[in-house]
Structure 1
Amino acid sequence: MSEFDNITAPPPPPTSDGPVPSDQRTMALVAHLLGIFTGFIGALIIWLINKDDTSKPFVIDQSKEALNFQITIAIAYIVSSILVVVLIGTLMLAAVWVANLVLCIMAGVKANNGEAYRYPFTLRLIK
C-alpha cells in the first residue's frame, strides 16, 4: 500500500474523552468564520497561537482544517482569475465564493456544536 492510496479520504477527527469546552468551540468557530473575511490569514493566526498547546486539541485540529481549506480556496481563486481570459473563470470565481461562504458557515456551526468538521475537496497541506 503506497502513501497515495488513501489520499482522498480526510483524516479522522480527534477523539475526545468528553464534551469539548466552550472556549475551544468558540475558537474553532472563529477559525472557520474568519475564512470568509480574511482568507487563510485568520485561520493561520489561530493555528499558530494554539499549535503548541496540547490542552486544546479541538482548536488545533479545526484551525488546521480551516487553514487547509482556505489555502485550497486561494488556489481556486488564482486558477479562476487566470481563466477569466476564456470567460469560464467568471463563473468559477462566483462558484468558489459561494462554496467558501456556505462551507465556512457549515463548518462554524458544526464546530460550535463541538463536532469536528472535514471540508470536502480540500488539499491537506498542513498535517
Structure 2
Amino acid sequence: MTQPPPPPGYGYPPPPPANSDEKTWALVATFGAAVGAFVSCGVLGFVGPLVAFLAKGKESPAVRAHSLAALNFQAPLSAVAFLFVIVYQCAGNIIPGVGWLIGLLAGLISLAVFVVAILFGVLAGVKANEGQFYKYPFTLDLIK
C-alpha cells in the first residue's frame, strides 16, 4: 500500500522558480548576501536578500522563500558582525591593560562571521542557480 505524497504547506520547500526572472531574483537574494558580506566585513550581508524580498517577494512565492531564508540567516549575522566590529574598534579604550585581548577575540569572531556569511551565501546561490531551495544550517525567524 503506497502513501500519497504530502500536501504542500509549511515545512516543505517552495516551488522552483517558474521563469528566468524569478531565478535571477533568487540569485540576487542569495549571491547578493555573499557579496554584501564580502564588501562590508559581514555587516551588509542582509541587503541583497532585503532588496529581493521588497522588489519581488509579493509577486513570486519562490523569490519570497529564497529571500526570506537568506534574510533570516544573514540579518542576525550582520548584527553580530556590526557589534564585533564596534567592539574591535573600541577595544583599546574598554580596559587599558587587556584591550588587545578583547580586540583579538572580537577580530576573530568578526572573521568567523565574515567567512560563514560568505560561505553559506555562495552555497545557497549555487543551489538557487540549480533551481533548488537551500536550507540554511540555522536561521532566526525574524521575518515571516
Same fold, TM exceeding 0.5? yes
TM-score (norm 2): 0.69
Query: 1:47: which partner in 2?
Result: 53
Equivalent residues of 2:53, 2:67 under 8 A apart: yes
Distance 2:117 2:70 in 1: 11
* Counterpart position of 1:3: none
Structure 2 CA distance for partners of 1:27 and 1:19, relative to 1, 3 Å: closer
Amino acid at match of 2:22: Q
Amino acid aligned to 2:48: G
CA gap 1:82/1:47 in 2 versus in 1, 3 angstroms: same
When residues 67 and 90 of structure 1 are mapped into structure 2, their CA distance, relative to the original with a 3 A threshold, is: same
What is the match of residue 36 of structure 1? Answer: 34
Residues 121, 19 of structure 1: alpha-carbon distance in 2 compared, 3 angstrom cutoff: closer
Whichever residue aligns with residue 58 of structure 1, its letter is: A
The structure-2 alpha-carbon separation of the partners of 1:113 and 1:90, relative to structure 1 and needing over 3 Å to count, comes to same
C-alpha distance in structure 2 between counterparts of 1:35 and 1:91, whole Å: 21
The CA RMSD measured in Å over matched residues stands at 2.2
Say which SS state the counterpart of residue 33 (structure 1) adopts. helix
| Structure with higher RCO (Cα < 8 A, 6+ apart) | 1
Structure 2 contact 34–119 (Cα < 8 Å) conserved: no
Q: Is the 8 A contact 2:17 2:23 kept in 1?
A: no
- Most deviating of 79-88 and 105-114: 79-88
Correspondence 1:78 to 2:76: no
AA of the residue aligned to 1:46: A
Q: How does 1:68-107 map to 2 (within 5 A)?
A: 68-81=72-85, 83-84=87-88, 85=91, 86=102, 87-107=104-124
Change (3 A) 1:19 1:28: closer
Number of residues of Structure 1 aligned to a counterpart in Structure 2: 114
Could you say if the C-alpha distance between residues 19 and 91 of structure 1 is closer, same or farther in structure 2, counting changes exceeding 3 Å? closer
Query: Aligned to 1:52, what secondary structure does the other structure show?
Result: coil
Q: Which runs of 5+ in 1 are unaligned?
A: 1-10
Percent sequence identity over matched residues? 40
Return the TM-score normalized by structure 1.
0.77
* Unmatched runs of 5 consecutive residues or more in structure 2: 1-10, 37-44, 92-101
